[in-house]
Chain A
Amino acid sequence: MTCEEFHRVLPELGSGNSLERVAHLRSCSQCAGLLADLNEIARQARHLQASDEPGPQVWDSIEIALRNEGLIRGGIAMPALEAHSLEDEVHLQSCQPCATVRADLDAISEQARLLQGGETPSPRVWNSIEIALRNEGLIRQLEVEGPRIRHASPSWKLAWLAPLAAAAAVILGIVMFEYSDGRQGSAHTTDLASVAPAQSQDSTANPEEEQMVRLVAERMPALGAAFEADLKAVNDYIREAESSARANPQDETARQHLMSAYGQRAMIYEMAMDRSLQ
């Protein structure tokens, strides 16, 4: 059983779990840790007083946690999450499904950083989150091996725990992202002054382009030399246009030259592909 399969059946875990599930728990520390966390949440939940809606302090806690990670302004450290990061990192290196989940969270985290800090969301926002999670079925009865969760009465649900769990998952992903060794930090920006020149510094250094030139030369020997010369001319144009745009980021003419240069390169790539395939 893979982690992905285990996560899928997690809500259905009960006293009669299959040998396959038990075996996975014994071999996968991350899934075992996740199950242990959920058991703890369930155990603590039984001590809570029933209520139709979670108290304001719950939503405040979620808000504070999200602020801490910069999704909204402000922040308070959440040291408890750091304890899992190294273990998670080791697991991610060997587990493709979980690595995929992490990659998705990375993308969410990175995009979320582009969001401007705004005012504190209204209670309606948190209610909307709750409703959305209910509709997605994230809020459900949870039966786990060993301690049993008391089935909630219609008037009291574990629903308010679900957004907390969702926020915790997001925060966990962000923390894992922060401690990633292989993270390539690059802020997305439309500011031309930060355009990276690396790819066009040396017009012959790109191995993909060299391979493309080679393919064209093999396919059409008479065209190879001219093709390579044209590609070099275009790459030089791109380099100069980028330099100009970086020096004058607000200059519309500089932007136009950059677009024209890239347009020429796109044309060359397209023609090379077509010629290679013919």
Chain B
Amino acid sequence: MGGRAERATFLATVVVLAGSAFAAELTHKEFHFKVHRHSSVSILNEYGPISVRPVSGHQVIVNAVLHSARVTVDSNQRGSRVEIVSHLLPGATAESGKVDYDVQLPADARVTLDSSTGPLYAEGLRGDIVLVGNTGTVEVRNVSSGHVHIKTLDGPVNLTNVTDGHVEITSVGGQIAMKSVSGPLVQVNSNKGNIAYDGDFGGGGQYLLVTNSGNIEAIAPALASIDVVAESVKGKVVNDFSLQPAHSSFVERAGSAFAGTLGKAASSVKLLSFSGKIHLKKRP
């Protein structure tokens, strides 16, 4: 009887250890794809980070680190369209189902990244970028000419040196920070997240920053060329500039709404908040 009990204990221990090993196993996979110009790459990874950067040549290189055997990576290529999907197996959790992606692709590729936990990172690209996340951080750096579309629930969004393209960000609770972001269209729609803009509002573009309860802080140079409207329905509005009056039907209300122009008013800037505070700051 004692021998039988010991054997049972031993077997149970082996099973537990084997399961742990099964769950903790890290697997590295690499994929190579040959593509043509203006390729399209999409990566759907429910749990884990995705990082994208440019590489020379017409190729897509995907390095994936799987955190357990409860997730697999499915790849599919149709011409120059590449799709990578993290396939969760039964019993996968946010930890065991995690995959870390590091992707290198042509700078002109169209990129779509979707991750629930993120973070998502893209830099040095010239093609269109679509980033969808829930709670993870979304970061874009040194992107020009391409359109950047970002959707997130509560994840922070950081854009640095994004120029000459359309920027559209929709977020509910994520903090949004933009530094040196300019282009023909910059549109940010936030609910309770704050929006911080530090740039020149250049490019003769249209800038629309809207929040529900989040605050908006916009820092612009003294020589900015903008036609600005700022209004908070229930919050306060502060302006550090001496604006020229604008010929429009906009009704100014001291402390809650102002409008005017700076320089040649090349760019249109609208800062709107329902109950948040708006501050248009002059860069020292």
Contacts and interface: CB of A to CB of B under 8 A. Distances in A.
B114 A230 contact: no
A237 B211 CA distance: 10
A244 B233 CA distance: 9
A256 to B, nearest CB: 6
A269 B244 CA distance: 42
The 9 closest A-B pairs by CB, nearest first: A230-B172, A237-B212, A260-B210, A260-B189, A267-B170, A233-B191, A230-B153, A253-B231, A267-B151
Nearest to A237: B212
Contact of A268 (B44, B135, B172): B172
Contacts, number: 72
A263 interface: yes
A223 B172 contact: no
B102 interface: no
Interface residues of B, number: 27
Interface string B170-199: 101100000000000000010110000000
Contacts of B231: 253
Interface stretch (A46-54, A105-113, A122-130, A270-278): A270-278
A275 B154 contact: no
A264 B172 contact: yes
B46 A234 contact: no
A253 B272 contact: yes
Contacts of B135: 223, 226
B132 A226 contact: no
A270 to B, nearest CB: 8
A257 B231 CA distance: 11
A261 interface: yes
Interface string B217-244: 0000000000000010100000000000
A145 B121 CA distance: 78
B274 interface: yes
Nearest to B46: A278
13 contacts: A230-B191, A233-B192, A234-B172, A244-B233, A244-B274, A253-B231, A257-B233, A260-B189, A267-B170, A270-B151, A274-B114, A274-B132, A278-B44
A240 B154 contact: no
A241 B210 contact: no
B233 A264 contact: no
B270 to A, nearest CB: 8
Contact of B274 (A240, A270, A278): A240
Nearest to A275: B116
Contacts of A236: 212
A227 interface: yes
Contacts of A256: 208, 210, 270, 272
Given A241-B274, A260-B210, A233 B46 contact: no
A271 B116 CA distance: 10
A171 B124 CA distance: 65
A234 B191 CA distance: 7
A222 interface: yes
B172 A233 contact: yes
A220 interface: yes
A227 B274 contact: no
B173 A230 contact: yes
A278 B92 CA distance: 13
Given A256-B208, A264-B191, A270-B151, 10 more contacts: A220-B116, A230-B153, A230-B172, A237-B274, A253-B233, A256-B272, A257-B210, A260-B210, A267-B172, A271-B132
B134 interface: yes
B94 interface: yes
Contacts of A226: 134-135, 153-154
